[in-house]
Structure formats: structure tokens, C-alpha cells
Homo-oligomer: A and B are copies of this chain.
Amino acid sequence: MPHFSHKDINALEHLYKINLINSCSGYKSANLIGTKSAKGISNVAIFSSVTHMGSDPALFGFFLRPTTVVRNTYDNIKETGFFTINHVQESILEAAHHTSAKYSANISEFDVTTLEETYKNNFWAPFVNGAPIQMAMEYIEEYPIKANGTILLIGQIKNLYIQDDLLETDGFVNLSKANIIAINGLDGYALPILKTRLEYQRPKNLSETKS
């Protein structure tokens, strides 16, 4: 079983290291975050760190580095207070991945990819047309992370739109019905198939257990 110590990891070549460490958290969500600057230039960028933080209030967080390509996303959210989260299905994968290229702030990724922007209910930020799940998000707060200079940015759902056939009677959203993608590492894309839903678990009667 290959083994890397802390010291081994530090000594790895850069690309090997980021491939390795990015794979080791497990599968990641694939989301396009849409924003628009105060001047009206739209932006869309792929993120793999959007994480559920709580349902009441409905909060999601994601991590960004202000010094890289995601500066446009961060700047636009700080200027306007709003963004969208849109899920990536298999059919838009290549265009979604291309949004990771470093375009300057005066170029909209909607103009250089096949992704189309769309607007709903007078919300400031653009949605990705046809995305199976679309969320209008309001900035709530942020935490600068001392350990590595990233920022945790937290937003709350203002409006949520879901493709008809995904929503089940108990509120569960079946992501695999829309061919929504999961991310493996830095550049791997996987297609998950729902296998099972398991029941709420209560402690076993200890006489039933192996001990």
C-alpha cells in the first residue's frame, strides 16, 4: 500500500502533489458559480468545494483563493452581495471545465463558452441556462483561513429551482436522474448512479452486536 508521510508530501513535485491531495478528500460537488460585477459584466466559474453547512437556515459554503482565477467571483460577490450556484450535468461538462481558464474581469465566460446566461425573478446574478438545479444565493459572511490564506464564503439560498423529475415526494433530489457530475481530484469527472437510500439509524440493542 503506497504510503506518503507529511515529509514525503512536502517534497513532491507540484503537479503530482496537487493531483494527489485534491483526490484524497473523496468525491467533490461540481458547481458553476455565476456572478455579475457592479458594472454589469457577468462571470461564471467552476468550483468543487461547495459544501452543505446547514438546512435551517439553508446555508452553503465554499473556499476560494483571492489571488487566483477566482478573484472575479469573489470581487463580484463582495461588490453586489449575490451569486448563483448551478449544477453541472454531463452535457455541459467541457464548457464548465473551460471556465477554469484565467480570463480577465472584462471578459464573460458566457461569451467564450457554449454556456448561456439566464435571469430569473429580477435576481442580479446570472443563472446557467438548463442547469438541473439553480440557486439564487445571498452573501452572509466569510472567514479568512489562517492556515493557508483561503477564504470560506457562506451564502444563503434565496430561491431554488429544480428540474421537474428530480424531486421526490419526501424532498429528496435524485441527482443521478439528471446526469449530474462529481469531481475526482483536480481534473477528473465521474458520473454517479444512485444505488440506495438507507434508513435513519438508531443504536442497536447491544445483545444483537458482535461484541
Contacts and interface: CB of A to CB of B under 8 A. Distances in A.
Given A18-B55, A27-B175, A101-B202, A161 B191 contact: no
A176 B30 CA distance: 16
Contacts of A198: 93-94, 97, 187, 189
Consensus secondary structure, chain A interface: mixed
A91 interface: no
Contacts of A146: 141
**Number of chain copies forming the complex:** 2
Interface string A34-63: 000000000000001111111111111101
Contacts of A50: 25-26
A114 B210 contact: yes
Nearest to A62: B51
Interface size class of A (residues with CB under 8 A): 35 or more
A135 interface: yes
Interface string A176-209: 1000111011111111111111111111101001
Interface string A112-128: 10100000000000000
Given A3-B160, A19-B168, A100-B200, 14 more contacts: A2-B164, A6-B159, A18-B171, A20-B173, A25-B51, A27-B28, A27-B175, A49-B53, A102-B203, A112-B211, A141-B146, A182-B190, A190-B192, A193-B193
